[in-house]
Amino acid sequence: MPFIKIWIHLIFSTKNRAHLITKDLKPKLLAHIRENAETKNIYLDSVNCVSDHIHMLVSLKGDQSVSKVTMLLKGESSFWINKNKLSNVKFEWQDEFIAVSIGESALTKVRKYIADQEEHHKKKTFAEEFDDFIKVYGFEKLRG
């Protein structure tokens, strides 16, 4: 049996970065995503969101890919919100997402970053945070 641990910090926003995740929806959404991840054998270490985006810390198994795990979490959660009429408008996630690998030594820092989203976004918008991630991880070089 192979021993595989690949940590991924996963970030995605609501469609058009609309502020759809209300204070009432947030705890239900986070609990549902945790349950869904467990059902689908996805190891979800940390998850938190604000009104327009979500952060997750996931450990991939050998038979999982970033795209597949992301699709399973995004697709099922938006379907669940809409099916249960938990949003006044159609709930959708943006197609794009950010996924970056995280080393063992950074896990505590990333967990804290995810847990502190509300505080973090009092100082910085998601658009600013997104731009920072693009620069820090060199994605603008990949786009060119």
| CATH fold of the domain at 6-138 | Alpha-Beta Plaits (3.30.70)
The CA R_g of the chain, rounded to the nearest whole Å, is 15
Structure tokens at 48: 């938190």
**Which residue ranges make up each domain of the chain?**
6-138
- Is the pTM of the predicted complex or chain greater than 0.75? yes
* Tens-level pLDDT at each residue, the chain (144 residues): 678 889 999 999 999 999 999 999 999 999 999 999 999 999 999 999 999 999 999 999 989 999 999 999 999 999 999 999 999 999 999 999 999 999 999 999 999 999 999 898 888 888 888 888 888 888 875 554
